[in-house]
């Protein structure tokens, strides 16, 4: 784990210089925009970065522009207005100007300005064989403890470890299935067993959570953090879906890793503290990529009957995609009226009438909450517990503003 943290710190240092310097102003900015409803983000701000450049032989190419500007639309074509959370309307905002070869002074998460750099950044976070072995041995130890209590139970790995989208400090997510035991008693029995065998330390049993879990760190194996749930099979199913998404969208991996670091440094990556979990983040990213304006059919393309024109190629610059992601979810989308879905090629929906049959996803007193449809269960809102969503949105918007300011200066 120590070697992994060294790489983690190296990467965040590379990404964080300019926004870290500006982090003291973020607290006031965040609190003002959230109208006092959200706590300020931690001082450990992660966001943008050192220049990442290629040799150009002394020549500078024209900057490339983002293709993300424009208004959002629901599935039926209704325009989605901005809620003004980030100070922007639903119309076009200033376009991001990036050049892969021009040594820009400031690009959010510099490692993502070109595919080669993105691959290098992802490689920096890739686990070593020893780290993989530590995780596998820790899972085997927990599995052995489970089988000593419930011989016929199965222990499944899901989440970031199962999909490969984990950073050095990511939790290991396990689910225990087929225990034929009361969940509350099962949680306590396993927690006691793990402690007695000195597998776990700092054990917490969150029995009253929406999904009851055990949280702990391993005594050995690099002090890995574990979350264990009982009889909830949708976790492994979601892991399979995420792997399919990664196969379809190769740029998903570096974007997920960077955004996980971004949220983790601001303590906004845990659902039980009101942040956005990995599954919700991946779903938001998938919908964003599916609906990115660069994929809109070229002007002049005509629909033939009910068949839509083919989508244009996705914007290839990962830096542009990251900045556009911050803009979309930080300031453009109106979370009071509009939900997000990655199903059917991606679409936005009306929270007051999600499916046209009167089903409302509005929660009285929490109309501001972001609603995200679970790709595996159309009735499940995977962000319904993210009560700190205003802090998340403010952090995204702050990162976007810093990039814009740097381009205009």
Closest CA to 206 of 284, 161, 270, 144: 270
Paired residues of 206 in beta bridges: 213
Composition of the chain by helix, strand, coil, percent to 5 = 40, 15, 45
Closest CA to 219 of 249, 239, 199: 199
- Burial level of 125, CB count in 10 A (0-12/13-18/19+)? buried
Q: For 70, left (φ over 0), alpha (ψ -120 to 50), or beta?
A: left
Paired residues of 348 in beta bridges: 340
Alpha-carbon Rg for the chain in angstroms: 22
For the chain, give the percent of residues with pLDDT over 90. Answer: 32
pLDDT in tens, 50-84: 323 333 333 323 333 333 333 444 433 444 545 54
pLDDT in tens, 204-231: 998 887 788 899 999 998 889 999 988 8
Query: Rounded distance, CA 13 to CA 19, Å?
Result: 11
pTM of the model: 0.68
Q: Specify the pLDDT at position 174.
A: 92
Which range (98-102, 136-140, 383-387) has the least confidence? 98-102
Which range (98-107, 258-267, 319-328) has the least confidence? 98-107
**DSSP H helical segments within 266-317, as ranges?**
278-291
Distances (CA, A) of 385 to 210, 271, 363, 364: 9, 6, 11, 14
Higher pLDDT, 391 or 97: 391
Query: Rounded distance, CA 7 to CA 127, Å?
Result: 10
Tokens standing for 97? 């100007």
Q: Of the spans 93-102, 120-129, 158-167, which averages the highest pLDDT?
A: 158-167
Q: Specify the pLDDT at position 392.
A: 94
Q: Yes or no: say if 297 and 312 are a contact pair by the CB < 8 Å rule.
A: yes
pLDDT beyond 70 at 247: yes
Q: Yes or no: say if 332 and 92 are a contact pair by the CB < 8 Å rule.
A: no
What is the DSSP code string of 82-113?
---TTS--SSPPPPPEE-TTS--S--SSGGGS
Q: State the chain's mean pLDDT as an integer.
A: 72
pLDDT in tens, 334-388: 999 999 999 988 999 999 988 888 889 998 889 999 999 999 889 999 999 999 9
Q: Of the spans 45-54, 239-248, 322-331, which averages the highest pLDDT?
A: 322-331
What is the DSSP code string of 336-399?
TTEEEE-GGG-EEEETTSTTSSS-----TT-TTS--BEETTEEEEETTTT-TTHHHHHHHHHHH
pLDDT in tens, 186-211: 899 999 999 999 999 999 998 887 78
pLDDT beyond 80 at 150: yes
């Amino acid at each position: 784990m120590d070697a992994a943290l060294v790489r983690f710190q190296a990467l965040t240092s590379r990404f964080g210089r300019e926004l870290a310097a500006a982090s003291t102003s973020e607290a006031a900015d965040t609190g003002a925009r959230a109208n006092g409803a959200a706590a300020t983000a931690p001082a450990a701000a992660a966001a943008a970065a050192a220049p990442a450049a290629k040799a150009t032989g002394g020549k500078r190419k024209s900057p490339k522009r983002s293709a993300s500007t424009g208004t959002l639309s629901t599935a039926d074509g209704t325009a989605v207005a901005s809620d003004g959370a980030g100070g922007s309307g639903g119309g076009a905002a200033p376009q991001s100007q990036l050049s892969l070869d021009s040594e820009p002074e400031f690009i959010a998460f510099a490692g993502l300005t070109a595919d080669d750099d993105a691959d290098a950044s992802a490689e920096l976070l890739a686990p070593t064989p020893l780290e993989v072995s530590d995780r596998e041995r820790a899972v085997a130890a927990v599995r052995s403890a489970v089988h000593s209590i419930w011989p016929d139970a199965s222990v499944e790995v899901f989440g970031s470890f199962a999909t490969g989208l984990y950073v050095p400090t990511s939790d290991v997510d396990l689910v225990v299935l087929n225990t034929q035991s009361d969940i509350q008693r099962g949680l306590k029995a396993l927690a006691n067993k793990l402690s007695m065998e000195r597998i776990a330390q700092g054990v917490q049993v969150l029995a009253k959570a929406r999904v009851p879990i055990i949280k702990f760190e391993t005594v050995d194996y690099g002090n890995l953090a574990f979350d264990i749930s009982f009889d909830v099979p949708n976790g492994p199913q979601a892991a399979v879906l995420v792997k399919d998404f990664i196969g379809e969208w190769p740029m998903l991996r570096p974007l997920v890793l960077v955004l996980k670091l971004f949220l983790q440094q601001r303590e906004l990556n845990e659902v039980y503290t009101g942040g956005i979990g990995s599954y919700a983040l991946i779903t938001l990213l998938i919908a964003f990529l599916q609906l990115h304006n660069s994929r809109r059919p070229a002007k002049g393309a005509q629909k033939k009957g009910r068949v839509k024109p083919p989508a244009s190629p996705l914007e290839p610059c990962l830096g542009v995609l990251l900045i556009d992601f911050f803009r979309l979810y930080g300031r453009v989308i109106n979370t009071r009226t509009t939900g997000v879905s990655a199903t059917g090629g991606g679409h936005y929906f009306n929270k007051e009438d999600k499916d046209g049959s009167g089903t409302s996803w509005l929660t009285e007193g929490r109309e501001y909450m972001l609603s995200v449809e679970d790709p595996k269960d159309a009735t499940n809102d995977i962000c319904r517990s993210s009560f700190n969503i205003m802090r998340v949105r403010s952090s995204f918007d702050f990162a976007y503003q810093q990039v814009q300011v740097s381009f205009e200066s």
